[in-house]
Structure 1
Amino acid sequence: MKEKWIWYAKAQTGVLLFPLGLCLFGEAVTRRIAGEPWFWWGTIALATINAGVGLMIESGLIGGFPRAPK
């Protein structure tokens, strides 16, 4: 049962971090177009997107919910 909760926590954290990173990336692009400082927004966006994708892959979210061994 504990493994399913760990899977769920990793998967949901990844699912939440990925779009957050995309929003931060959009903010960085907007700031760059406006001529404002954008580097740190872009750096944080890159790290957040990578963390989200990494957690989704690590949790096996792409493969589906973990099943009990038969």
Structure 2
Amino acid sequence: MAVNKIRWYLKAQLGVLLLPAGLCLFGEAVIRKGLEELIKRTELASGAGGGLPLKLLQAPGPWFWYGTLGLILINAGVGLMVESGLLRGYPRRS
């Protein structure tokens, strides 16, 4: 019986940890995509002769893979929480 309690606890806690980690990665992907769009628009504006050139902005990196990994972690976290029955508490004996 103790093994079942430990297994339930680990699943529930892993789900609780994976969900916010996935949300953070997904948010990071959205920010990086926005920075990429800002850089593109700035380069177009500076190429047309208007606007300030912003050379301080760096390339944001692989936002697509951050978003993909974030969505995987979100789904895994929700799935583990639902599977463990975290919303109902520890499953009691019937």
Shared fold (TM-score, shorter chain, > 0.5) = yes
Measured after TM superposition, the shift of residue 68 of structure 1 is 3.2
| Superposition TM-score, scaled by structure 1 size | 0.92
Instruction: Name the aligned partner's letter for residue 45 of structure 1.
Output: G
- Structure (1/2) with the larger helix percentage: 1
Partner of 1:49: 74
Q: Does 1:62 align with 2:59?
A: no
Q: CA RMSD in A?
A: 1.0
**Structure 1: distance between partners of 2:84 and 2:28:** 28
TM-score (norm 2): 0.69
Q: Deviations over 1:33-60 (max 9, x none)?
A: 0003311000000000000000000111
Counterpart residue number, 1:16: 17
Q: Percent identical across equivalent pairs?
A: 62
2:68 maps to amino acid: T
Q: How far apart, in 1, do the equivalents of 2:78 and 2:67 lie? A: 16
User: Greater shift after overlay, 6-15 or 55-64?
Assistant: 55-64
Preserved CA contact (<8 Å) 1:28 1:38? yes
> C-alpha displacement at 1:65, in angstroms?
1.7
Q: Which runs of 5+ in 1 are unaligned?
A: none
Q: Give, as a single letter, the amino acid of the residue that structure 2 aligns with 1:61.
A: L
Q: Distance in 2 between matches of 1:63 and 1:54?
A: 14
Q: Write out the 4+ residue segments of structure 1 that deviate beyond 6 Å after TM superposition.
A: none
Q: Which runs of 5 or more residues in structure 2 are unaligned?
A: 37-59
